[in-house]
Amino acid sequence: MAYDAGYNAVIPYENVTPEDGKKIVQDAIFSRGPKAVKHTCFFIGGKNAEKAEEVFAVVRDSMFPPFKTSIIVDPSGAYTTAAAMVGKVEKALVSHNLGALKDKTCAILGTGAVGRIAAVLLAKLGCNVMIASLNPKRTDGEEYAESIARLLSSRYGVQVQGVFAPTGDEKLEILKKADVVLCAGTRGVRVIERELLKELKLVKVLVDINAIPPFGVEGMKLKDDMREMIPGIFGIGALTVGDLKHKLEKQILREARSNGKEVYNFNLALQLARKLLQKEISPAKLTLMLSYPPAKQGSN
């Protein structure tokens, strides 16, 4: 993706610790000098969002003027996925006259990195947020869900409700309370059965990021974009979210390559997702192609 965005070289480092991060950053910035360092970008990925944030803190603190350049934080694409989900729902609600997102009760089904960051973004927007652990094998499910809520409070300063919902009845209680439901569970695992949706009476918007069958929401299609699955239930599918996510990732990479100083985290990712959604008519679509018939011989 970085090559697609115009980078000349991509150098991967595996199993990077915070101590490694400081050495890598300083070796790169000092060897390039103050003027050339802006052409270097540090991308922090990995599977573990907490460890990625630890490395990010060290990378950020290892730079100082004039040795500063762009940093991207997106472990397993979780931050851009969460930003794409929230941005897509925010725009869909307005375009369908369903009110502002900030006024809604939102449920996130899944406590992985995507679910956690989506919860943070929604809480910062002023939503009433529930984040649910779904794993029926957890013996400490309620305690675990509450620990996730405490973690998000201490790390990001947001208040969300942690809920344990391993059964259909418990999921139904969440669905009844929520206006917006984001399914961010394990790939290839059904989270919401169609029978549960039939029990709902009020308008709901459901988003699913699971592109591997069976999808997270029964009856959802990959390219759904506010399709009314059953009366009052609107769906946004995984490929619809994924299309925005991929555009967002490329936009971040392009900007980081030329900006030279910005930190691209989930907060900035949401801002850029909003901008991309606003560009419904691209400059290319506004280009008018004119053609003229060949002049007849002898005419002026």
Claim to verify: residue 161 and residue 259 sit in the same structural domain: no
Domain annotation covers residue 176: yes
pLDDT, tens digit, 9 for 90 and up, residues 250-259: 999 999 988 7
Handedness of CA 270, 260, 255, 57 (dihedral sign): negative
Instruction: Give how far Cα 71 sits from Cα of 44, 97, 153, 263, 268, Å.
Output: 8, 37, 24, 5, 12
Claim to verify: residue 192 and residue 169 sit in the same structural domain: yes
User: 175 and 165 in contact (C-beta within 8 Å)?
Assistant: no
Domain count, the chain: 2
Task: Give the CB-side neighbour count of residue 182, counting CA atoms within 13 A.
Answer: 33
User: 250 and 43 in contact (C-beta within 8 Å)?
Assistant: no
Q: How far apart are CA 214 and CA 186, in angstroms?
A: 11
CATH code for position 261: 3.40.50.10280
CATH code for position 201: 3.40.50.720
β pairing state of 263-264 and 180-183? unpaired
Domain annotation covers residue 141: yes
Q: How far apart are CA 250 and CA 241, in angstroms?
A: 15
Q: Among 242, 267, 289, give the residue marking a domain's end.
A: 242
Claim to verify: residue 130 and residue 255 sit in the same structural domain: no
Q: What is the pLDDT of residue 103?
A: 86
Average pLDDT of the chain to the nearest whole number = 91
Which residue type occupies 140? D
Domain annotation covers residue 233: yes
User: 217 and 189 in contact (C-beta within 8 Å)?
Assistant: no
pTM of model > 0.85: yes
The C-alpha angle with vertex 11 and arms to 8 and 16, in degrees rounded to 5, equals 150
Q: How far apart are CA 119 and CA 106, in angstroms?
A: 8
Identify the segments of the chain with pLDDT beneath 70.
280-300
Q: What is the pLDDT of residue 256?
A: 92
Length of the chain: 300
Q: How far is CA 75 from the centre of its chain?
A: 11
Question: Which residues constitute the domain of residue 237?
Answer: 78-242
Claim to verify: residue 134 and residue 211 sit in the same structural domain: yes
Q: Beta partners for 263?
A: 71
Q: What is the pLDDT of residue 39?
A: 87
Going by the DSSP 8-state scheme, the letter that residue 171 receives in this structure is: H
Instruction: Give how far Cα 36 sits from Cα of 41, 260, 262, Å.
Output: 11, 10, 16
Domain annotation covers residue 1: no
Claim to verify: residue 108 and residue 233 sit in the same structural domain: yes
The C-alpha angle with vertex 128 and arms to 124 and 130, in degrees rounded to 5, equals 100
Claim to verify: residue 122 and residue 178 sit in the same structural domain: yes
Q: What is the pLDDT of residue 280?
A: 61
Claim to verify: residue 171 and residue 208 sit in the same structural domain: yes
pLDDT, tens digit, 9 for 90 and up, residues 151-197: 999 999 999 999 999 999 999 999 999 999 999 998 899 999 999 99
Q: Check residue 238 and give left, alpha or beta (phi > 0: left; psi -120 to 50: alpha).
A: alpha
The runs of H, that is alpha helices, within the chain are: 18-36, 49-61, 78-95, 113-124, 141-156, 168-177, 194-197, 238-259, 266-278
Domain annotation covers residue 13: no
